[in-house]
Amino acid sequence: QVQLVESGGGLVQAGGSLRLSCAASGRTFGTYAMSWFRQAPGKEREFVAAIVIGAGSTKYADSVKGRFTISRDNAKNTVFLQMNSLKPEDTAVYYCAAGGKPFLLRTLRNYDYWGQGTQVTVSS
């Protein structure tokens, strides 16, 4: 089992920044990737960003490319999502996920473990 705990959400004005953290514990050895997804009210959960734990390669949704940066601290089993130039449409609950498969990082069902989510609200 892997436990994931997100933190760092909050309320910010448009154009502002937030940094989310996801601390992983438990049987994390062998995890292929860590990712962030988000879900806005009335919408499906969508992929935001992913990082491959071993290689460090990253992937982003087009909607956040150039504004968000995913990174990791392997020693602390923690993944971060730096969010800059935030827009009201970024408002959602952000979830951290562990698992993933090569070439299928955007697919929700490939992730075995999920955090409880953290609310991000961007006011206009």
Nearest CA-CA partner of 51 in 9, 111, 105: 105
CA distance 84 to 88: 12
The pLDDT of residue 12 is 98
State the pairing for strand pair 118-123/92-99: antiparallel
Question: What tokens were used for 31?
Answer: 């995890």
> Phi then psi for 90, rounded to 5 degrees?
-80, -5
The pLDDT of residue 13 is 98
In which residue ranges of the chain is pLDDT below 70?
none
